[in-house]
Amino acid sequence: MLAEFKQFLFRGNIVDLAVAVVIGTAFVAVVNAFVADILTPIIAAVGGNPDFSALSFHVNGSVFLYGTFLNALITFVSVAAAVFFLVVKPVTAMTARTAPAPGEPVTRECPECLSVIPAAARRCSHCTAESAPAS
């Protein structure tokens, strides 16, 4: 039973997931620090107030703290913008450079079994026949 548990722990998916969680947690800390230390002071310099949590209005004795909502909204938009411009756009640009040319085929048929295989494959994953990569 202990050997099975060890095999379970060292399975590729579990280790990959653990690494992703650790990297994701570190990335959250970096993005939050960027928003809190860089973007929020810029907003404060433009708007004059970095903290809106004290803003509220009253209706029939009820207090509506819309300032905390504004803080959360500004934080969300700032984090989304930071992730988009600092992660999504660069990764998209990087993958666009490695993508095949528009006219270049991505897949082809195996000459033996006629199943669809990647164009760069040297062996068919269905019938295991060897074939030269498409050029």
CB 27 within 8 A of CB 20: no
Beta bridge partners, 117, equal 108
* Whole-number pLDDT of residue 83: 84
pLDDT given at position 12 = 65
Distances (CA, A) of 104 to 42, 93, 95, 100, 115: 46, 19, 16, 6, 19
Whole-number Å distance between alpha carbons of 118 and 132: 11
Cβ atoms of residues 118 and 107 within 8 Å = yes
* Proportion of the chain above pLDDT 90, given as a percent: 4
Q: For the full predicted model, state whether its pTM sits above 0.85.
A: no
Distance CA 83, CA 107 (A): 33
**CB within 8 A of 14, min separation 6: which ones?**
8
- Write the pLDDT tens digit of every residue in 36-77: 788 778 877 887 777 777 888 999 999 898 888 888 888 888
Can you list the domains of the chain with their CATH numbers? 2-99 (1.10.1200.120), 101-135 (no CATH)
Q: What is the pLDDT of residues 80-134, one digit of tens each?
A: 888 888 888 998 888 877 766 677 777 888 888 888 888 888 888 888 888 777 6
pLDDT score of 100: 65
5 has pLDDT over 70: yes
